[in-house]
Structures are given as structure tokens and as C-alpha cells.
Chain A
Amino acid sequence: MPELLRPGSVDEAAGLIGSHGAAAAVLAGGTSLLREIWPSDAGYLIAVDGLGLDRVEARDGGWSIGAAVPLRALREAVPIPALQAATREIGGPAVQNMATVGGNLFARAPFGDLAPALLALGADLVFASADGEATQPIDAFYAAWSDGAPPRAGLLIRIELDEPAGASAYLKCARRRYSTPSVVTVAACVETDGGTVSAARVALSGASAAPFRCGAAERAVIGSALDDAAMAAAAAAAEAAVTPATDPVATDWYRRRMAGVFVRRVLAQLA
């Protein structure tokens, strides 16, 4: 059985994670970790409640979101459509009261439904270590994953999110409505200028070993109107870009098809 440690400050927590290395696991809402931990070899659980990381602060032009903010609290505090849709689609009400934003960003496929929303919104992640704070764009965080697992990233303390310049949307493809693992999830944020797409971010989760931004789908719509042809091109680009897995939820073939279908549908919500 691991030992539960309760640091009194972010610095102390970061220090414990640094000194215990691979033997330490951050315990946030526990909705993933406490399912997996009992047979696990983690020697120490570092609890991150009580460190002041459970607050959302509205700042000039955006929000600072504590890593330990529960998903429902995030939905109530930040009125961005893609984010609100994403938090409604993760587990049921009890999971949404317990599971934290930070915990979800570390979730492995087929979980990790929040990631596409924050990728499409261009969030930054702020980590604390014994050396101080370090900020990383969320794309870079996921690009560093290997074999579907996060790198030893240290303690995520908050997410910095700017008010999006464009409109955003989010869709989860699943076998039933609510409280179910995803086949794929997609999110998009699109800026238009006189009917032409001037900027676009399209992201997927569940479709590859780690959540990612699909540059090819973005290029397919930038510079043209968000019409049927552009959306079909983005869908085809997404189908070609994903590297899905087969698991009890879906086959790789089905995930690839749904990646295309749902990229088209999420863009259609913004057209």
C-alpha cells in the first residue's frame, strides 16, 4: 500500500515529487488513480487538495484555472462553449464533482476528453518543480507523450486560458449519451474575416496515442470559406492524420472514420 502524503504548500508538493521521482503519484480527484492504484507500485500519493489549486480566477482577457478545479466548477466558471460541452461529456455528475482539470489532462486513451477543447483554445500549462515555475503550450505537452503515456512532467499547478478570439465547438463520439468512454472527441476554434477563415485550431483525442492538434485539417479550412468543400477536405485530412487503436470501445477502423465525420460536424457547428 502506498503512503499518503499531504504537503502544505505547492513548493512542498513539488519538492516531494522531485525527491520521490517515479515512486510518487499526484493524487487529485482520484477518479482514475484510486481505480488503478491498488495493484500499482507507487510508493507515495501526494495529495494536492488544500494547496489553493481549486480556484478559477478571471483575469484581464482570460482565466487562470487551478489544476485541482473540479470539472463542474470549471463549467460554472468559464463560459466558453467548447469547454462547457467537454465538461458535460466526462463521466456522470458525481465524476464531474470529483474529477479535476489537471487529472483529466493526464488521462490516457480512451479517456482525456478535455484535452481537445484546451488544445483548440490554445491553453498554456504551468508546472511547478524545485526549480520554480515553467510554462508550456498544451500542444508541446502532448507532443512529448510517448506510447500513450505522459512524460514525468512534475506538478501541474494551473492552466492559463485567454478569451478565445473565435467561435469554438466540441463533440464527443460515444456509444451512448453521457458517462461513457469516447470513440473520439474533437474540438475546433475558428476565426473568420469577411467570410474567410483566418485562423483555425482543430484537435482530437482518442484518435491517436495522445491528444493532438491536427495541422492538416486546420490548413484545409484556413484561407477559404467554411463551406462543405472545406469541411470535407478537413475531414479527409483528419482521417489521414490519426493513428487510432482498437480497444473494447471501438476498432481502429471505426475510430478513423469517426475522426473524419466528427471533424466535419464540429466545423459545421461553426459555419
Chain B
Amino acid sequence: MESKLIRLTVNGREEAVVADPLATLQDVLRDSLELTAVKSGCGQGGCGSCSVLVDGELRLSCLTLAERVEGAEITTLEGLNETNAIVPLQQAFVENYAAQCGYCTAGMVMAAKALLDRNPAPSRDEIVEGLSGNLCRCTGFAPIVRAVEQAARALSGEEAS
């Protein structure tokens, strides 16, 4: 099949890549743009490790055709901070030992960001629901939930000050 020029806005930058018309956003982000925080756990929508934000909404890049998000704002973990320093949400993951092998972590952080952007003060149950599409197979979910709780507290503290 003929390749196609696909124009994407990723982490605030205009990108143009030549790809198969049925290339997934995951393939384009990882292979063409080398944004490897986007992981490839299952390719089936089941693990959440490929989670990105499209116009601020959580999406699975493995089930999104790159061609269909032309014109949208795509954010990967790399785009959370332009200087590549870790942001408070990531710091909360570090402090709560919420990553062991780290394979799920970028997806978890993106799911947590999508949740906190909509709901800065989630209950524990809302955090569990917000992360429910993301699987961790080694750390366990308790430290991850604690990290998001801490990030939420930090966020509301920041807003108060």
C-alpha cells in the first residue's frame, strides 16, 4: 500500500512523517518520532501502557490510526515538561516507589494526568476508576494509587497558595 504524509502536532511541535495509511499512532510516535515513553505492551487496548493525550483526553495509541488525529494536540510523557525535568506528578511516583520495572509507568502517569486535569481532588475510588484501563504487573497498584493521592494533595496545596 502506498505510504502517506501524516502531519501531527506532538508535544507542541509540528511533525510530518511518511507512514502507512493504517499506521497506528503508537507506531508513529515510537518508531518515527522516537518517543519511546509510549510503550507497546499488548497492541490490543488491554494494558494502557501506550496511553497518550489527544486534545487533553486519554487515548490508547495502539488503537488509534495516526491519520485520524491529524490536527489534534498529542501529548506524550515526554511532553509533560519541555525541559525534561520531572513534574510533581512524576515526583510523587518516585517518592511512593510506584515503579518497579517501569514498563507501565508512563501510561499510568498519563492516565493520572488525564484524571487530575478533570478532577483535581479525586477520591480513592475515583483514582482506581481513572487508572482502571492501565495494568501494572509488578509494582502492585497500592503504591501507584498512593502516588496519585499525593500528587492530588500537592496540586490542591499549590492552588491554595
- Distance in angstroms between the alpha carbons of A29 and B68 in the assembled complex: 10
Q: A35-B44, A97-B58, A98-B64 are in contact. Are A91 and B22 (CB under 8 A)?
A: no
Q: A4 to B63, Cβ gap below 8 A?
A: no
In the bound complex, what is the Cα–Cα distance between A79 and B133 (angstroms)? 24
Q: Which residue of A lies closest to B63 (CB)?
A: A34
- Residue from the list B1, B44, B57, B129 in contact with A97, Cβ < 8 A: B57
B130 surroundings in chain A (CB, below 8 A): 93
Assess the B58–A93 pair: CB atoms within 8 A.
Answer: yes
Cα-based distance from A88 to B131 in the complex (angstroms):
13
Provided the pairs A35-B44, A177-B132 are in contact, do residues A97 and B59 lie with their beta carbons within 8 angstroms? Answer: yes
By the criterion of a CB under 8 Å from any partner CB, how many residues of chain A are at the interface?
23
Q: How far is the CB of B2 from chain A (nearest CB, A)?
A: 10
Interface centre among A1, A3, A4 (most CB of B within 10 A): A4
One digit per residue, 1 when the CB lies within 8 angstroms of any chain B CB and 0 when it does not, for chain A 24-40 equals 00000111001100000
The docked-state distance in angstroms from the alpha carbon of A30 to that of B21 is 15
Whole-angstrom CA separation of A148 from B29 in the bound complex? 37
Q: Which of A34, A88, A98 contacts B59 (CB 8 A)?
A: A98
User: Which among B60, B68, B128 is the interface contact of A49 at CB below 8 angstroms?
Assistant: B68
Cα(A29)–Cα(B54), bound, Å: 14
Asked whether, in the complex, the Cβ of A178 is within 8 Å of the Cβ of B129, the reply is yes
Count: A-B pairs, CB below 8 Å: 71
Residue picked from A1, A31, A94, most chain B C-beta under 10 Å: A94
Interface assignment of B111: CB less than 8 Å from any CB of chain A: yes
Across the two chains, which residue of chain B brings its CB closest to A4?
B21
Q: CA A92 – CA B108 in complex, angstroms?
A: 12
Q: CA–CA, A123 to B134, complex, Å?
A: 33
Q: A98 to B131, alpha carbons, bound, how many Å?
A: 16
With A35-B45, A93-B114 known to touch, is A179 a contact of B132 (CB < 8 Å)?
yes
- Cα A29 to Cα B115 in complex, Å, equals 21
Would A92 and B65 count as touching, CB distance under 8 A?
A: no
As a 0/1 sequence over residues 5 to 45 of chain B, the CB contacts with chain A under 8 angstroms (1 = contact) are 00000000000000011101000000000000000000011
Shortest distance from the beta carbon of B63 to any chain A beta carbon, whole Å: 5
Q: Please, how many angstroms separate the alpha-carbon atoms of A177 and B51 in the complex?
A: 20
Instruction: For B1, give the chain A residue with the smallest CB separation.
Output: A1
- On chain A, the residues within 8 Å of B64 by CB distance are 30, 98
Contact B60 A94 (CB under 8 A): yes
- Cα–Cα, bound, A268→B45 (Å): 35
A2 near B: Cβ within 8 Å? Answer: yes
Q: Which residues on the A side are within 8 Å of B20 (C-beta)? A: 1
CB contact between B128 and one of A4, A47, A178 (< 8 Å): that residue:
A178
Type the 1/0 row for A77-121, where 1 means its CB is closer than 8 Å to any CB of B: 000000000001001111101100000000000000000000000
Is the Cβ of B128 less than 8 Å from the Cβ of A94? Answer: no
Q: Which B residues lie within 8 Å of A93 (CB)?
A: 58, 111, 114-115, 129-130, 132-133
* B61 nearest CB across to chain A (Å): 9
Q: A1-B1, A92-B48 are in contact. Are A34 and B132 (CB under 8 A)?
A: no
CB of B67 within 8 Å of the partner chain: yes
Beta-carbon nearest neighbor of A49 in chain B: B68
Q: Residues 110-149 of chain B: 1 if any A CB is under 8 Å from the residue's CB, otherwise 0?
A: 0100110000000000001111111000000000000000
A71 CB, nearest partner CB in chain B, Å:
12
CA distance A94 to B1 in the complex (A): 30
Compute how far the CA of A94 lies from the CA of B111 in the bound complex, rounded to whole angstroms.
Answer: 8
- Residue contacts A-B, CB under 8 angstroms, 20 given: A1-B20, A4-B21, A30-B65, A31-B60, A35-B44, A92-B131, A92-B132, A93-B111, A93-B129, A93-B130, A93-B132, A94-B59, A94-B60, A97-B57, A97-B58, A177-B129, A178-B128, A178-B129, A178-B132, A179-B133
A35-B45, A92-B134, A94-B51 are known contacts; what are 7 more A-B pairs with Cβ within 8 Å?
Answer: A34-B62, A35-B63, A45-B22, A88-B129, A97-B58, A97-B59, A179-B132
